[in-house]
Amino acid sequence: LGGKKMKKIFISLLVAFVSCYANAQNQIGTCSITPKVGLNVAQMTNADGADARIGVVVGAEFDYQITDMFAVTAGAQYAQQGCKVDADFFDATVKLDYINIPILANFYVVDGFALKIGIQPGFRVSDKVKAEGDGVSVEIDAEDVFGGSTLKNVDFSIPVGASYEFNNVKFDVRYNFGVSPVVKGFGESSKNSVCQFTVGYKFAL
């Protein structure tokens, strides 16, 4: 009797394991959408005295599974970027917010774990500079701060990263290498530099 119970328990565990594993497999030709939310750690290169700005990122990505080891994703997300500047008499936050369109190739090296690389155009939707000092807080348009410099409306980045999916929950970390200048004349053609951490839930379509 004890042996039969052990056999039933073993079979039950095996069935549960196989079911979980099968559910985690990437079915060829399937489509899905993953709403996601997370944090940006944003910086601007070649900007003296600049520190990271912590902001939010929220959006969704559409996924198409081409093979069991390869998929492509395309998405749209609202991302808070820019940087912070700590000066002697005031602190300033450069708030450059974008609608980014990441398009990535996903290479599944093991089940559920993917390495990714792609391109990402971004469209600026807001630009402000908030300065605080001596109990006074002022927020003005970034164009007024940069003066004769030209603030670009479109940004291009190369995102690289990795993701892990378990029970339809997807954890994603990526670094967006800015390849186009954000502002001419600020530092030496500053570019966006963003570390991004998100979590989302994958829905089959």
pLDDT of residue 89: 66
pLDDT of residue 141: 77
pLDDT in 10s for each residue of the chain, 205 residues = 555 565 566 566 555 544 544 444 567 889 999 999 999 999 988 776 778 899 999 999 999 999 989 999 999 999 999 888 876 667 788 899 999 999 999 999 988 899 999 999 999 999 888 877 766 777 777 776 666 567 888 999 999 999 999 999 999 999 999 998 887 755 557 889 999 999 999 999 8
Residues in the chain: 205
Name every residue whose Cβ is closer than 8 Å to that of residue 121 and which is 6 or more positions away in sequence.
100, 101, 154, 155, 156
pLDDT of residue 26: 66
- Annotate 164-201 with b (16+ C-beta within 10 A) or e (fewer): ebeeeebebebebebeebbbeebbeebbbbbebebebe
Q: Which residues pair with 167 in a beta bridge?
A: none
Helices assigned H by DSSP within the chain: 2-24, 142-146
pTM of the model: 0.81
